[in-house]
């Protein structure tokens, strides 16, 4: 069985970040079709920034799992060898 999530907030934030970045990609596509260079660059820049936010949250989550709970490649999901 899985342990209950101690803090679901990072996952919730990451879901929001992913959905928002999907929207900014669509905005970039619309801007490109309208030949709006400024809109395209702003939308792609936002998408890249949101990608970095997503990766930062993932790094924080996995850092917590590896160093605080002992989850590694050779351990199971609960950190037991």
- Show the tokens assigned to 15: 């879901």
**What pLDDT does residue 64 have?**
76
Question: What is the number of alpha carbons within 13 Å of residue 20 lying toward its C-beta?
Answer: 16
**What SS3 string covers the chain?**
CCCCCCCCHHHHHHHHHHHHHHHHHHHHHHHHHCCCHHHHHHHHHHHHHHHHHHHHHHHHHHHHHHHHHCCCCCCCCCCCC
Per-residue pLDDT tens digits for 5-55: 778 899 999 999 999 999 999 999 999 999 999 999 999 999 999 999 999
- Yes or no: say if 21 and 50 are a contact pair by the CB < 8 Å rule: yes
pTM for the complete prediction?
0.77
């Amino acid at each position: 069985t899985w342990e209950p999530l101690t803090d679901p907030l990072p996952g919730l934030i990451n879901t929001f970040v992913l959905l928002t970045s999907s929207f900014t990609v669509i905005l970039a596509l619309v801007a490109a079709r309208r030949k709006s260079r400024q809109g395209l660059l702003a939308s792609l820049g936002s998408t890249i920034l949101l990608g970095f936010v997503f990766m930062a949250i993932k790094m924080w989550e996995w850092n917590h799992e590896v160093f605080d709970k002992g989850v590694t490649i050779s351990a199971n999901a609960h950190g037991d060898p």
